[in-house]
Every structure is written in structure tokens, then in C-alpha cells.
Structure 1
């Protein structure tokens, strides 16, 4: 498992079969979104290219509009590279609420667990 980030957020990267799971923990806001964007892009670019990228928001404690913009841009980047991409946002969490309110779930298939996201692939 690889790990990168700052004191306010971290990104972990786990390879599972032909998928990459990117776990974001902490806060995604204006001050962290640029670093989170760079971390997501770097972590999703292994060679060979994975068949699926899962962005796990289970442990995100704060998710601002900057986070929504970040994920929407990351989704477009995945699409441009031909990468399938899913979001994991547990029911009842702030991340899940933001994903549903903003319609990110229409751009990213959204699941309640990493296992669900991987098995839906």
C-alpha cells in the first residue's frame, strides 16, 4: 500500500486484482484539493493501466465544493483515458450526502463498500 498526503488528508493506494483502490481520508476543501488532485492522478497512473479505479471516500470527514470539483475533474480524466471509475461513499456519511446532492453519483457509479464496487465491475 502506498500513502501520500498532508496532515489534513491522505491518499492510500491498494492494487486488488486489476483494480486500483484510492482511499481518501480527512478533509477535502479549497486548501487541500490541489494536493488531492495531484495525488489521485499520480496514484491512478500505474503501468499497466488498471481496468478500474475505485475512489473510497469512507473516511472523508469534510467535503466541500472543491472536493466535488476535484472528483468531477478526476472522473473526466478517467473517461479520457478509458478508465472505468467508481466511488465508495458509505450511507449516512457527509461524503455520501454530497455525492447524492451534487449528482456525482450520475457520473460515477456509487457504492456503499469497496467490495460492492469491485464486484460490480
Structure 2
């Protein structure tokens, strides 16, 4: 399952031992956050609910408040079904925004992603 804003952003889901991993790549802004939101909702709609949902951010080249809000909302939605949203490999602008806003402290953040 994947969604994309042509040429700017992609979000692809793969399965791992712990649950789905969403591999995000490109510019995560107001327009593309809609696509990520769709992928996150689909991944969280699987039954039984996954114990963990990982969002791999290593390929994200731009990240604004729309992307941040999308991740925070996904965390809230996931908590209602006892799913933990983990962020993986935030680099550059993503790491900076997570640090400045303090949101990096409310998400578990991993340096790697789970193996298949």
C-alpha cells in the first residue's frame, strides 16, 4: 500500500515482525501530509490492531507543521487502540523540527527500522 504526491512525496507500507513500517520520502508539507494521513489511517485500520507502527523518516527532505500535526494525530489515533507509533531515522530538518517543538520527546525515536 502506498500513496504519493507526484514527484514530491511517497509513503509506502511494508510489514515487519513488530507491525507495519511506513517509509516516507520527499517533501512532507501541507499538500503531501494528506497522503501520509491516508496511509497512516489504513495501517491503523488493520485488525487485529498492530502493537507497533513505525514511520521511517530518513527520506524526508522537507518537514513543516503539517507533517508534524499528521504524526501527532496518528499517535493519538493509535493510542486509542493500544498501538505505539515509533519514529525511525529522523535526519536533517525532521530531527530539527522534532527537537525544537519537543515532539521528539513524546514519540519513541529509533536509529534503525525493524527487519522484515
TM-score (norm 1): 0.84
Displaced runs of 4+ in structure 1, greater than 6 A? Answer: none
1:75 maps to 2:64: no
CA RMSD of aligned residues (A): 1.6
Greater relative contact order, per chain length (Cα 8 Å cut-off, separation 6+): 2
Q: How much does 1:57 deviate?
A: 0.5
1:3 maps to 2:2: yes
1:15 maps to 2:15: yes
**Bigger shift: 32-41 or 72-81?**
32-41
The match for 1:101 is 100
Once residues 22 and 95 of structure 1 are traced to their aligned partners in structure 2, the CA distance between those partners, rounded to angstroms, is: 15
Once residues 99 and 111 of structure 2 are traced to their aligned partners in structure 1, the CA distance between those partners, rounded to angstroms, is: 12
5+ residue gaps in structure 1? none
Instruction: Count the aligned residue pairs.
Output: 114
5+ residue gaps in structure 2? none
